[in-house]
Amino acid sequence: MKKIVLGVTLASLVVFTLALVTTQAYADEKPNGDRGHEEDRNGRLFNPDNELSNSACGKKLGSPVIEVTQKVQNDADSGETGNYWAFDYYTRHIKVWQTVAPGETTPGTYCAIVTYDGSFYAIPGQVGPGNRPAGALINTSTDEPVHGSMTGGRRATITGTLLATPTWKTHGSVGTTNYQCNISGTCTGLVSWVNQYFVSGASYTDDWWGWQYRGGSHGTWINAVTGNSGNIL
């Protein structure tokens, strides 16, 4: 489940595929002209290539302590009104570096780059993720899901201690996880990847996050810490 920004205030909710907290605010009261300028600005600020590059974690990082690939199925995706509008299927690439040398501090500090590459299936009858115009519903003549691509990810700081024996392997593929979400956002199969590698109590802070959803003729939605723009209808 992804982050959401609604308007201009940032508050946390992250049901992250990690079990994180997401930010929300509302911009629906803005005139259409202002909203257009805002969306142009958001598009320019959305720069995942820089924000999710290895160098964004620092220089002279050495080899990642974790470098794995995970496939995720049936992940419910939420929109600006808090409703769940789509199911996501993606490959998640997880890289983690220790950014403070062992012995310099306890617990350790780590930087994580997590990228997503996959597809979304928007459900007709649900409010579009961008809620523009307000309350507009996803709709197709055949009443079938709107299929499109989704890319992006998050960069995070983790403070904690690595498990002596991680639940998942630290390099390679960790297989497929089916979150088994329903359209209400209940996900009985959700698994936190952080908990597979870190001792309970580790702190996790997103430093940057953002995703782009391309629905062809149904529109494009950017959902990012720098702001939301567009919609899928």
Q: According to the model, what pLDDT value does residue 129 have?
A: 97
The pLDDT of residue 36 is above 50: no
Q: Is the N-terminal amide bond of 133 cis, ω within 30° of 0?
A: yes
Beta partners for residue 159, in sequence order = 109, 203
- 232 pLDDT band, cuts 50/70/90, is very high
Q: Which of 29-38, 59-68, 74-83, 176-185 has the lowest mean pLDDT?
A: 29-38
Tracing tokens 């297989």 back to the chain, one arrives at 175
- 32 pLDDT band, cuts 50/70/90, is very low
Q: Which long-range contacts link 9-12 to residues 24+ away (Cβ below 8 Å)?
A: 10/225
- Average pLDDT score over residue span 198-210: 96
pLDDT tens digit sequence for 88-143: 999 999 999 999 765 665 568 999 999 999 999 999 999 999 999 999 999 877 77
Q: According to the model, what pLDDT value does residue 120 have?
A: 97
Q: According to the model, what pLDDT value does residue 17 have?
A: 38
Structure tokens at 177: 């996880």
Taking the alpha carbons of 228, 182, 205, 102 in that order, is the dihedral positive or negative? negative
Q: According to the model, what pLDDT value does residue 140 have?
A: 77
Give, for 89, the enclosing helix (H) or strand (E): strand 84-98
Outline where DSSP puts E strands in 123-202.
146-160, 171-178
